[in-house]
Every structure is written in structure tokens, then in C-alpha cells.
Amino acid sequence: MPGADDPLETVWLDRAKRLLALAQTGQHFTRDPYDSERYEEIAGLARAMLADLGRVPLNRIADLMPPHAAGYASPGIDVRAAVIRPDEGILLVREKTDDKWALPGGFADIGFSPAENVEKEVLEETGLRVEARHLYALRHKARHPYPADVRDFYKLFFLCRETGPAKQAPCAGYETSEARFFAPTELPELSLGQVLPQDIRAALDAYGADMPGTLFD
């Protein structure tokens, strides 16, 4: 989002997101038609603020809010997998959206546990079967140096163990153009909206620890 490095714009982005969340929650609980109209007006003002801050058309802001986001507003969930081979490095996928690299993963689907979601994402994006073994980080996206996002997310990072054939070569999936293992010292250009260098360092640290902890906000 342009201007996201400006501290003042970051403050107003946080406020606009919070204002929209309060308006959506108010609309969900109110039984008063007049209050409902007021909450809708507040939501419209918040969406306009987000559009101005992001320098994007207002309809793009509305499109970012999925139907299930109506009602009590809560953060979305993004799950990411760290799959490590000691002699090859860490598994990354090239995103078709920006042609950059990230840990396999994506938005969590309803009806699956966090572990099931991340295992499914790895299979879909790389063709590898894995088992989620440890949650090594749980981050509030807005509190870390990812590019600013009008949506609010919790990011769940899992250490995963391969369960399929040994040394199976990863392959690209529907949303990825390539999947490869990279040595920690030879990482490609990362898709910073999805993963930061410190997310990968944390995965490697957790992999090498006897009893890894979980980083959280």
C-alpha cells in the first residue's frame, strides 16, 4: 500500500480498520433500524478512508471484505508451512501474483483445523504431503513490518514434517509457478506480504531447537 512507511499514515490505517470493525460489529448486534443506518454510514466513511490511504478505488476496498466478514468483525487467518530438508534447505513457492517467493500457505478455509489447513496448502502448492508438527510463531500482521493491509490478519507458522515418498521433488500448484528448496544463505526475493526474512529465520531456529517455543505477539 503506497505511503505505508509514513508513521502518520500507519496510525490512520490502524484507526480506519478499527472503525470499520466497530461499525460492522454494531450492525450485527443492533436491532434499531436508525442505529443500523448510522453504523452503515460509519462503515462507508471507514471504507472511504481506507481507499484514500491505499490510493485505490472504493470498490476495491469493498471487494476485500468477503461475505463471511459481515457481522462480528474478527481477524482473518493466514497459515504458512516451514518444510526443511537438512541437506537442501527450506521449501519456498513462487507466487503467481507477484512472481516472488514465500513459504507455502494461504488463507485458512472454514471447516478445517489450522493444521489441516496448512497441510492442505502444502499439498496443493507443492505436491508434497506433510504433517504439521509445531506452531513456531503466531503473529498479528499489523504489528510486524509486512506491507500495510486494509484487512486484519493473524499469521500462523508451522514446522511441518514430510510424510510422502523420501526426497520427492516438489512441483508447482494452481496458485504457484515453481516450488523449490533453498539454502538459508541463498534465499530468493521474498513476497513480503506473505513472509518476512525473520519468519524463515525463526523456522530454522525452531527446527534446530530441542524444545522449540512459540513466538507470539
> Rounded CA gap, 187 and 120, in Å?
24
Tell me the whole-structure pTM to 2 decimals. 0.72
Instruction: Report the pLDDT value the prediction gives residue 161, as an integer from 0 to 100.
Output: 97
22 closest CA partner among 60, 61, 56, 71: 71
Residue 182 has pLDDT above 50, yes or no: yes
Give the span between the Cα atoms of 21 and 52, in whole angstroms.
17
Listed range (73-77, 168-172, 181-185) with the worst mean pLDDT = 73-77
Exposed / middle / buried, residue 66 (Cβ in 10 Å: 0-12, 13-18, 19+)? exposed
Report the pLDDT averaged over residues 50-76: 64
List the grid coordinates of 170: 516438489
Report pLDDT for 2: 41
Block residue for cell numbers 485458512: 108
pLDDT classification of 94: cutoffs 50, 70, 90:
very high
Confidence of residue 74 (pLDDT cuts 50, 70, 90): confident
Q: What contacts 24+ positions apart, CB below 8 Å, involve 99-102?
A: 99/177, 100/188, 100/189, 100/190, 100/191, 100/192, 101/182, 101/187, 101/188, 101/189, 101/190, 101/191, 102/190, 102/191, 102/194, 102/195
C-alpha cell at 90: 527450506
In this predicted structure, the answer to whether residue 195 has a pLDDT above a threshold of 80 is yes
Label residue 29 by pLDDT band (50, 70, 90).
Answer: confident
Domains parsed from the chain with CATH numbers: 7-69 (no CATH), 76-216 (3.90.79.10)
